[in-house]
Structure 1
Amino acid sequence: MRVQGTPDELVTILRETVVSLVRRDGPDLSARQLGVFLTVYLGPGPHTVRGLAASLNVSKPAITRGLDRLGEFDLVQRKIDPADRRSVLAQRTKRGAALLREISAAMADAATPQENATAPTNSQLARSV
């Protein structure tokens, strides 16, 4: 799915979404943790550490650390792969599904034009530095 908008508009939506997530009551996720989380929730499963590492082009230990943190927040749970007991599957949780709904709502709010919005664009911000 291709999203319409200028690069400045898209970055502004990202910024407003991240700010909304930081202000809410709940865990703060790093960019890597958010990438792992979104891959698990938006990509077709099952999700293995090896598959997530390949999909995100990062090391397996980085994925393991991300899953550790997501597991602490009950956003992802691990389960032994019944087809290959040496492998671990990352699975969705109810709390994670709720977070995904929050992220979607925050992005929708950020993408909705606000009356009298005067936030500077990224190009304007870059020129002011």
Structure 2
Amino acid sequence: MAYSELFPEYKVPVTGVIEARLASIDIRISKNPLIQDLLKTGMARPYELHFKDGSTEQLGAMDVTTETAELIDNDGTPVPNVYVCGITTEGRHWLTNGSPIPSVNDVRLRMADMIANQMMTYSE
């Protein structure tokens, strides 16, 4: 039986349930070996919010630049040509787990396009 605590009078018999949610993102406890190696070597850091009173709150999102989506290292320096976008940056950027909306200049598609353009124009 499925129902909402807000509306317990509306009950629906079901034969199966799918949990359709995302766990909170926290790179500090991620089991992904690449993420852990980036943190361990100082090539990446968690994003921090800075408040007016001088305090900070470290979030579980990976820190990246706003303008280029380049990874920010432990010293606060952007890592040239290392780009991170998507769910790993949730909290630094918002709504990274959604699907782009058709016929809209969607921020997720613009970010992917910007990163691809930077990668294609990079030369050294």
TM superposition score category, shorter chain reference: under 0.3
Structure having greater relative contact order (Cα 8 Å, sep ≥ 6): 1
Q: Tell me the TM-score normalised to structure 2 length.
A: 0.25
Structure number with higher helix proportion: 1
Q: Tell me the TM-score normalised to structure 1 length.
A: 0.24
Higher radius of gyration, 1 or 2 = 2
